[in-house]
Structure 1
Amino acid sequence: MEYLEFEQPIKELMEQYQTCSMVGEESGVDVKLACSQIEDKINKKKKEIYGNLTPWQTVQLSRHPDRPYTLDFINGIADKGTFLELHGDRSYADDQAMVGGLAKIDGKNVMFIGTQKGRTTKERQIRRFGMPNPEGYRKALRLMQLAEKFKIPVITFLDTPGAYPGLEAEERGQGEAIAKNIYEMVKLKTPIFTYVIGEGASGGALGIGVGNKVYMLQYTWYSVIAPESCSSILWRNWDHKEDAANALKLTPADMLKNKIIDGIIEEPLGGAQYDPEVAYQNVKQSILHNIKAFSKFTERELIEQRQEKFIAMGEFKG
């Protein structure tokens, strides 16, 4: 397990706990009481740190290298052996930063779509740190339209620092691809449920984020721009990224308060990386609940509910 800078007190206690356990095993001395006391200190310190996170610390936690990614969630939620990944946009290429395919959840058919980061250096290069090219968004749209044809709910997972900003992406119509996705998702005739499982940045996330219901996991963020990018625009450097994170109101609590999302999915204390199975099950229960609730909607009602939800954003009464 890797630890972030503000998690160092937990790391030190964990090392003490491991040493205590090792001494007990090697010497045969009963150290259960000592280890138990250290364990209590670990839990207390976790509650103290994770219960008082700053927006910037939340951003850091959403990027934790051990945090589960889209394919981890899909394989953790879908019935065993049912996920069939689908590839390509049928026009240019298969973007590895955008993944998707058919699966079953408790016997119910769904279409999963999401941005995928990499674990190793090579995989990060191939997947461009979860930043899709235009063909990634076109692949996502192809899968959504396939789901619409067979009346299958669409589940999208957002975990991206933004759409890929390279010259080749702009040459192939990055802005148009994202705009087309938003336009088509608004009028898709099948339910769409969206989950921010890590970073939800800019149009890169919104390109697959127009859902009937939108949720954020507890230690994630969702914003029009990343704090570092905001800082570089306003102050010409990254030194003010913490100030930017505070101003952007990007935490799940902020998003819920401003009615941008519909709910917050609880994670294990400290993040999904501590106990991924708990996170998978919490998301799974939310998906199943929404599939059941929206099964009663007509196609027209699905579209109207989704459109009204997004049209209402940003409205304020004096």
Structure 2
Amino acid sequence: MTSYLEFEKPIAELDERISELQETADNGELDIAADLKRLQKKSERLLKSTYKSLTPWQKTQVARHPQRPHFQNYITHIFEEFEPLAGDRAFGDDQAIMGGFAKIDGRRVMVIGHEKGNTTESRIKHNFGMGKPEGYRKAIRLMELADRFHLPVVTLVDTSGAFPGIEAEERGQAEAIARSTQTCLSLHVPMVACIVGEGGSGGAVALASAERVLMYEHAVYSVISPEGCASILWRTADKASEAATAMKVTAADLKKLGVIDEIVPEPVGGAHRDHEQACVALKTAILKHLDELSGLSDSELLQARHQKFLSLGEL
């Protein structure tokens, strides 16, 4: 059952009316097929028009939707023969960042990504996708392993940011994020990063510093959350909507700025409404970019990656 967001209330009311009519029709009391068809078309039109004109803040809400696909869903729908690898070989295993060997359309890759969880228990287990130092050090280990075996790296980014707890700082959170970012930039193999939900702060950049960055249509990517930005600028999180607009967090804005390379379309109403269709679109985009990068030499890959980031902000 779809969970509706605040701005989707008119759609929710229509869908509720449709459900009531369907129950009546199932009882065989009335022939209401025509009314049902009319309401369903109206609901589809309303959903389409609503999602065509989302504000940056509304897109942020969609990106955070609890029913959006998560890492495990992408593994199921996009990759085959996933072999998870655990631990940073220094402290422990962070369940917020997962990864391992896999195949995509028969091509061997290393896939790494954030997992938020989809139930109360699993969200706690995966720390809501907020990586700790050992998570980023695990990512470093897996990227270096991919480099050694000449495997392309695919990352799935979906985090509100790295874990801000004191224990993470004690274990070197900033250093782990910096080294993970450095490792991304120094790989001699193709790397494709996918912003699939929230791309928050350094916790996202640490897995997204690739020569090709893809982004779902309704995902967001920013240096800080809109609430955090509003708290700093206006001393209140109530200005989050204004902050989201000013920060240019949407895929369309970031494509214009050259931060991302391709916008991946989502099903009407967002990826949370049709996981399979969303995954098909993402898989197609990943394969396209892997094919384009496969013909580049090590030095060309490094040059392309470095040039991408050095040119950001040029007038």
Question: TM class by shorter-chain length?
Answer: over 0.9
Residue 225 of structure 1 corresponds to: 224
Residue 239 of structure 1 deviates from its aligned partner by: 1.1
User: Partners in 1 of 2:4 and 2:12 — Cα distance?
Assistant: 7
Residue 107 of structure 1 deviates from its aligned partner by: 1.1
User: Partners in 2 of 1:48 and 1:288 — Cα distance?
Assistant: 30
Residue 28 of structure 1 deviates from its aligned partner by: 5.4
Residue 153 of structure 1 corresponds to: 152
Normalising to structure 2: TM-score of the pair? 0.98
Residue 122 of structure 1 deviates from its aligned partner by: 2.3
Which residues in structure 2 correspond to 1:258-277 (within 5 Å)? Answer: 258-277=257-276
- Is this contact kept in 1: 2:192–2:210, CA < 8 A? yes
Q: Give CA-to-partner distance per residue, 1:253-293, whole Å, 9 cap, x none.
A: 10001111001000001111111111111111111112211
User: Partners in 2 of 1:22 and 1:122 — Cα distance?
Assistant: 33
Residue 126 of structure 1 deviates from its aligned partner by: 2.2
Q: Give CA-to-partner distance per residue, 1:37-60, whole Å, 9 cap, x none.
A: 001110111122111111100000
Does residue 254 in structure 1 map to residue 253 in structure 2?
yes
Query: What is the identity, as a one-letter code, of the residue corresponding to 1:33?
Result: A
The alignment partner of 2:207 has SS state of: coil
Which residues in structure 2 correspond to 1:20-59 (within 5 Å)? Answer: 20-27=21-28, 29-59=30-60
List alignment gaps of at least 5 residues for structure 2. Answer: none
Query: What is the identity, as a one-letter code, of the residue corresponding to 2:246?
Result: A
Does residue 198 in structure 1 map to residue 197 in structure 2?
yes
Does residue 98 in structure 1 map to residue 101 in structure 2?
no
Residue 173 of structure 2 corresponds to: 174
Residue 132 of structure 2 corresponds to: 133
Q: CA RMSD in A?
A: 1.0
Residue 227 of structure 1 deviates from its aligned partner by: 0.3
Residue 302 of structure 2 corresponds to: 303
User: Partners in 2 of 1:6 and 1:184 — Cα distance?
Assistant: 40
The alignment partner of 2:95 has SS state of: coil
Residue 31 of structure 1 deviates from its aligned partner by: 2.1
User: Partners in 2 of 1:122 and 1:220 — Cα distance?
Assistant: 25
Residue 242 of structure 2 corresponds to: 243
Name the % identity. 45
List alignment gaps of at least 5 residues for structure 1. Answer: none
Normalising to structure 1: TM-score of the pair? 0.97
The alignment partner of 1:286 has SS state of: helix
User: Partners in 2 of 1:30 and 1:256 — Cα distance?
Assistant: 50
Query: What is the identity, as a one-letter code, of the residue corresponding to 1:35?
Result: L
Residue 71 of structure 1 deviates from its aligned partner by: 1.6
State the number of aligned residues. 314
Query: What is the identity, as a one-letter code, of the residue corresponding to 1:169?
Result: A
